[in-house]
Structure 1
Amino acid sequence: MTTFRAFRIHNDDAGYRAGIESMTADALSPGEVLVKAAYSSVNFKDALAGTGKGKILRQFPLNSGIDVAGHVVASTDPAFREGDAVLCTGSGLSETRDGGYGEYARLDARWTIPLPSGLSLRESMILGTAGFTAALALLRMQDNRQTPALGPIAVTGASGGVGQLAIDIFSRVGYEVHAISGKADHFDFLRNLGASACIDRHQLVFSGKPMDSVRFGGALDNVGGTMLAGLLPLIAPYGNVAICGNAGGIAFDSTVMPFIIRGASLLGIASAGTARDIRDEVWRHLASDWKPQHLERIATREITLDELPEVFTRMLAGDSFGRTLVRIDGTI
């Protein structure tokens, strides 16, 4: 195979650096399934890795990108044949093995998902880790007996990729969604995705009491920190708060009262290491009854590999909106 292009990250005696390089398939991480990539996406984790602002990679060098979708060009696993459409999110991509920001990717068959009927490769990467995270949160909440009858679901960080997809997914399934965001100029957009109410984070005041009047049936929290601490006393009896982000900090000050008086549950959403059977279930839902209705609206930008550094900078500066799709052009 001839050389191909990839966005590769190094950290050695010459320092931390990332950019487009030429490489061959022989240099890719080991795995059973070689894929010609069609699309990837940009997640906050990718921006941290690509700029060195966060410790994401556990070994170097690696191709960046925690999501990838494309077609199989070679496989030593009988479950996959040449031409099959597949996707992979998390599962060590851009942490312990080469990720999706390359014209080719070699994947571990254990974590390679056949593209479900009902999704295109493009749609699967508009969803990517963000959509998978939102749907995994819904799955865990409903497994723990969350229902629309408990009351509205608060979605924090609602203007981000996970937040927007969560609004679309939860509202489609029948939940009333209250979007919490610090970007009031996006409220009309969020309402069009399915939010029945929008709350300005800057005007949201928590009482600080261990328990307060019930306001939400549950929550999907992308923020953590004081936001998580403030939400817990507002959750209905036996409601769930799914936590999947820490933009507001990794620590929070709370009490046991919401848990032992109202029976609230705090559910951790660890999308990167999700077991294969759960992955399959989540993707089946995303391709059918939980499929967001506004994917093309949520995909606010489409870029090439060469544009990644600019997008990383904007994302870390808080100047991004919706999902950024990465179109990857390669030749066999």
Structure 2
Amino acid sequence: MTDFRAIRIDKDSDGQHADYVIMRERDLMEGDVDVDVAFSAINYKDGLAVAGKGPVVRRFPMIPGVDLAGRVTRSAHPEFASGDIVVATACGLGEAHYGGFAEKARLSGDWLAKLPPPLTPARAMAVGTAGLTAMFCVLALERHGARPEDGLAVVTGATGGVGSFAVALLAKAGWRVAAVTGHASEDAYLERLGASEIIGRDELSAPGKPLQKQRFAVGVDTVGGVTLANLLAQTRFDGAVAACGNVAGMEFPATVAPFILRGVSLLGVESVRPRIELRRAAWARIARDLDPCAIDVMSEIISFDDALDRARSIVGGKIRGRVVIDMGLHLPL
């Protein structure tokens, strides 16, 4: 049996503890595909799990890591063979099933997608659940019938992982994009991603009227709470907002006014267990539309040795964009 390194979360009478450990292949959970993990990434949910600050982990011990990319070493699944380069996001990884913060993974092939060219494993992890969620939001708006000529698109939490990709994807699709951020120093970063207007977070974070001046044709909201309520109140007739996050909390202090007086639609976006067809379509669209340079602007690559400390720091809002973990497998960057 081959030994491998992992970050493992254990729980005892003193609470949760995350640390580096040495594990063996026999320690892996069930699955029909084995993967040598080349790259993973740090998501906000991973930070919560490592810090023990939220009910993320549903069983112990647990290897965190919502995202992973790597090379198949064994497969009993009909769609995959040894040597395939694959990517997995969400699907309970790091929550109920061992995730990507390890050099090896054993997974269900139903959670995997072959990596579409020209994406590399590192750039796929720079995209990860965050970029995939942003793409699901864009696809939801397109299914609604929204078009760039309808007006201004707005993205909240624009310097975060999902928000950054939403700005870039909407701009690539031809939208004029307003990026909402509480970090005035990040204007240049957001403009490089394609934002044409920067809005201060305070403009949307205080309670407002049920209906306000019509401002946006569509929106992608990663924040929730009062911000989402204001976003809906400022959305134009027949507009739509795709909601995918709750950084500001689970409460939604809004009225039905935008829905029944302006025909605004609220589109819920779920990224943990989307249909495999939708997931693969999203990856194909990302590979086609996202400029590799834009992906690189939004990400940095760190070593596995630094992953634990950086995972803890994301909970304090100290990470911009995406942090990719190089596991040292030496697949193409």
TM-score bracket, normalised by the shorter chain, equals: over 0.9
Q: Which residue of 1 aligns with 2:86?
A: 86
Does the CA-based 8 Å contact 1:223-1:247 persist in structure 2?
Answer: yes
User: Per the alignment, in what secondary structure is the counterpart of residue 106 of structure 2?
Assistant: strand
Asked if the contact 2:302–2:326 (Cα under 8 Å) also holds between the matched residues in 1, the reply is yes
TM-score by length of 2: 0.95
* TM-fit CA distance, 1:174: 0.6
Alignment identity in percent? 39
Q: How does 1:51-200 map to 2 (within 5 A)?
A: 51-200=51-200
Amino acid in the other structure paired with 1:26:
R
1:205 deviates by 7.2
Contact 2:205 2:226 in 1 (8 A): no
Pair 1:305-2:304 in alignment: yes
Compare 197-206 and 224-233 and name the one that shifted more.
197-206
For 2:278 and 2:89, locate their aligned partners in 1 and report how far apart those are by CA, in whole Å: 13
Q: Structure 1 residue 303: deviation in Å?
A: 1.6
In structure 2, distance between residues paired with 1:223 and 1:205: 10
For the 8 Å contact 1:304–1:326, the answer to whether it is kept is yes
Secondary structure of the corresponding residue to residue 127 of structure 2: helix
Give the C-alpha shift of residue 203 in structure 1.
Answer: 4.6
Deviation, 1:14, is 5.2
CA distance in 2, matches of 1:88, 1:204: 34
- The answer to whether the 8 A contact 2:133-2:269 is kept is yes
Q: Could you tell me which amino acid in structure 2 is paired with residue 288 of structure 1?
A: R
- Cross-structure match for 1:314: 313
Cα distance in 2 between the residues matched to 1:278 and 1:56 = 25
The question of whether the paired residues in 2 share the 8 Å contact of 1:150 and 1:236 is answered with no
Correspondence for 1:38: 38
What are the Cα deviations for residues 109-161 of structure 1, in whole angstroms up to 9, with x where unaligned?
Answer: 11111111221111100000010010000011111111112211110111111
* Partners of 2:47 and 2:15 in 1: CA distance: 18
Q: Kindly state the Cα deviation for residue 306 of structure 1 after the two structures are TM-superposed.
A: 2.3
Three-state SS of the structure 2 residue aligned to 1:36 is strand
Q: What is the CA-CA distance between 1:293 and the residue it aligns to?
A: 4.7
Aligned residues: 330
SS at match of 2:209: coil
* Alpha carbons 1:4, 1:330 under 8 Å: kept: no
Gaps of 5+ in 1: none
Partners of 1:141 and 1:293 in 2: CA distance? 25
Contact 2:206 2:226 survives alignment (8 Å)? no
Question: 1:206: Cα distance to partner?
Answer: 6.2
What residue number does 2:263 align with? 263
Q: Structure 2: how far apart are the matches of 1:204 and 1:14?
A: 40
1:229-252 deviation per Cα after TM superposition (whole angstroms, max 9, x unaligned): 111111111211111111111102
1:15: Cα distance to partner?
2.8
Q: What is the root-mean-square deviation of aligned Cα atoms in Å?
A: 1.6
| Distance verdict in 2 for CA 1:64–1:266, change over 3 Å | same
Deviation of 1:208 after TM superposition, in Å, equals: 2.2
Deviations 1:16-65 (A, max 9, x none): 11111111111111111100010010110000001101111111111110
Question: C-alpha displacement at 1:308, in angstroms?
Answer: 2.2
Which segment drifts farther, 302-311 or 73-82? 302-311
Partner of 1:49: 49
Query: CA offset at residue 292 of structure 1?
Result: 6.1
